C-alpha cells in the first residue's frame, strides 16, 4: 500500500477541519480530491507532506510513518502553492537546483523540460527573470514542472489547473494521465475543476467539512450527475 491513514484529525481554533478515520491509497491510483472551499483539501495534502502536524492519528507512506522518517521524500514530490518556489532564482536555476538535489542528470533534466516545451509556450526559459517577476500563471507552470522533474513515484498537486489558460489545462490533464498510465505514478490532485478531475481520475474523493463523504472508483455519468447536484445544493 502506498499511503495509509488511520484516525487522522486536524484542529484549528478548537474547530476540527479534517477528520479521516481510515483511508488507503494503492500504487498507481490517480485520485481526484474535490470539495468546496474550506472542505480540508489543502490541509489534507499538507498533512501528507508532513508540512503541518496532526492533532491525532497517523499517516503511513509505504508502511512507515511520515512524521518519523524522511524515506518518503526520495520518491514523493508535490506542488501545493508558491511557497514551494524559490522566488529569487530564475526558472533555470530553480530547475537545476531540484535536479541537483535529486541527482537528476543534465540530460534527464533537459528531456523533462522538452516535454513541457508547448506548456511553457516560450514564456519561461531564457527570459533572464527571477521567478518572483513572472505572472501567476507562469509561476504555476514553474511549480508544476518542478514537482515533476524528480520523476516521483508519488505526486501531490493542489489546484494545478488554477491560473492556467484552457490549452494549458488540457496539456497538464493529458500529461498527468499519461504519467500515471506509463509509469504507474500514484497521483493525488486537488481541484475545483470537475471536468478535468473526471477526465483523468481513477478514483474520486469528495471532502465536506473535513470528512470524506464520497469515495468512488467509477467516474461515470451517474457519479457526475450526483456530484453536480451536490455542488448545486451547497
Domain harbouring 180, CATH code: 3.40.50.300
Same domain, 164 and 201: yes
Give pLDDT, residue 219.
72
Give pLDDT, residue 63.
97
Same domain, 58 and 107: no
Same domain, 4 and 92: no
* Structural domain boundaries, residue 27: 1-75+153-234
Q: Using the 8-state DSSP alphabet, how is residue 74 labeled?
A: G
Same domain, 161 and 227: yes
Exposed/middle/buried for residue 73 (C-beta within 10 Å: 0-12, 13-18, 19+): middle
CA–CA gap between residue 210 and residue 17 (Å, rounded): 5
Q: Which of 118, 151, 184 is the last residue of a domain?
A: 151
CB atoms within 10 A of CB 207: 22
Give pLDDT, residue 10.
98
Same domain, 71 and 158: yes
Give pLDDT, residue 3.
98
Residue whose grid cell is 500529461: 175
Q: Which of 151, 169, 202 is the last residue of a domain?
A: 151
Same domain, 120 and 157: no
Same domain, 44 and 143: no
Same domain, 180 and 204: yes
Q: Write out the three cell numbers for 95.
A: 530547475
Q: Which of 104, 132, 151 is the last residue of a domain?
A: 151
Q: What is the pLDDT along the chain (234 residues), one digit of tens a residue?
A: 999 999 999 999 999 999 999 999 999 999 999 999 999 999 999 999 999 999 999 999 999 999 999 999 999 999 999 999 999 999 999 999 999 999 999 999 999 999 999 999 999 999 999 999 999 999 999 999 999 999 999 999 999 999 999 999 999 999 999 999 999 999 999 999 999 999 999 999 999 999 999 999 877 778 888 888 889 877
Same domain, 70 and 157: yes
Radius of gyration of the chain (CA): 18
Same domain, 177 and 65: yes
Residue whose grid cell is 516535454: 115
Number of domains in the chain: 2
Amino acid at each position: 500500500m502506498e499511503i495509509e491513514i488511520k484516525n487522522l484529525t486536524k484542529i484549528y481554533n478548537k474547530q476540527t477541519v479534517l477528520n479521516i478515520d481510515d483511508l488507503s491509497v494503492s500504487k498507481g491510483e490517480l485520485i481526484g480530491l474535490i470539495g468546496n472551499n474550506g472542505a480540508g483539501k489543502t490541509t489534507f495534502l499538507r498533512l501528507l507532506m508532513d508540512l503541518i502536524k496532526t492533532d491525532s492519528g497517523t499517516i503511513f507512506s509505504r508502511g512507515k510513518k511520515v512524521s518519523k522518517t524522511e524515506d518518503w521524500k526520495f520518491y514523493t514530490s508535490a506542488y501545493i502553492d508558491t511557497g514551494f518556489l524559490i522566488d529569487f532564482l530564475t526558472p533555470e536555476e530553480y530547475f537545476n537546483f531540484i535536479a541537483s538535489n535529486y541527482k537528476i542528470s543534465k540530460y534527464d533534466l533537459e528531456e523533462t523540460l522538452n516535454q513541457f516545451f508547448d506548456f511553457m509556450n516560450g514564456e519561461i526559459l531564457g527570459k533572464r527573470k527571477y521567478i518572483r517577476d513572472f505572472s501567476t500563471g507562469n509561476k504555476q507552470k514553474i511549480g508544476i514542472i518542478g514537482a515533476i522533474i524528480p520523476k516521483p513515484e508519488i505526486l501531490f498537486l493542489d489546484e494545478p489547473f488554477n491560473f492556467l489558460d484552457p490549452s494549458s489545462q488540457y496539456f497538464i490533464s493529458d500529461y498527468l494521465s499519461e504519467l500515471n498510465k506509463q509509469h504507474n505514478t500514484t497521483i493525488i490532485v486537488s481541484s475545483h475543476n470537475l471536468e478535468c478531475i473526471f477526465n483523468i481520475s481513477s478514483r474520486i474523493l469528495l471532502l465536506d467539512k473535513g470528512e470524506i463523504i464520497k469515495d468512488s472508483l467509477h467516474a461515470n455519468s451517474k457519479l457526475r450527475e450526483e456530484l453536480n447536484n451536490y455542488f448545486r445544493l451547497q
